[in-house]
């Protein structure tokens, strides 16, 4: 991801995530939890996911965002 200015509006930051090539293709993107909390907050992030019908999981210090509504199945 390109350098993001610290004062980017939260709605613009979310638009950048969901406008990425991978997201537009229905793929998977990941973001650091601290960045989500810094730029938009967890509640707004979850709301943005729900509005789009997307899902996310938390793993370590990242959110893994599934930009589709396909079922998630843990392999191991």
Quote the percentage of the chain above a pLDDT of 90.
Answer: 89
The residue with tokens 């965002």 is 65
pLDDT given at position 11: 92
Element (H, E) at 45: helix 42-52
pLDDT tens, 8-45?
Answer: 899 999 999 999 999 999 999 999 999 999 999 999 99
Domain limits of the chain?
Answer: 10-66
Beta bridge partners of 31: 63
Is 4 a residue whose pLDDT tops 80?
no
Q: What mean pLDDT, rounded, does the chain reach? A: 93
pLDDT given at position 7: 79
């Amino acid at each position: 991801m390109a350098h993001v200015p610290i004062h980017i509006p939260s709605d613009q930051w979310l638009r950048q995530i969901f406008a990425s090539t991978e997201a537009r293709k229905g793929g998977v993107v990941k973001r650091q939890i601290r960045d989500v909390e810094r730029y938009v907050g967890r509640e707004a992030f979850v709301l943005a996911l729900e509005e789009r019908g997307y899902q996310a999981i938390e793993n370590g210090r990242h959110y893994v965002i599934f930009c589709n509504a396909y079922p998630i199945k843990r392999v191991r």
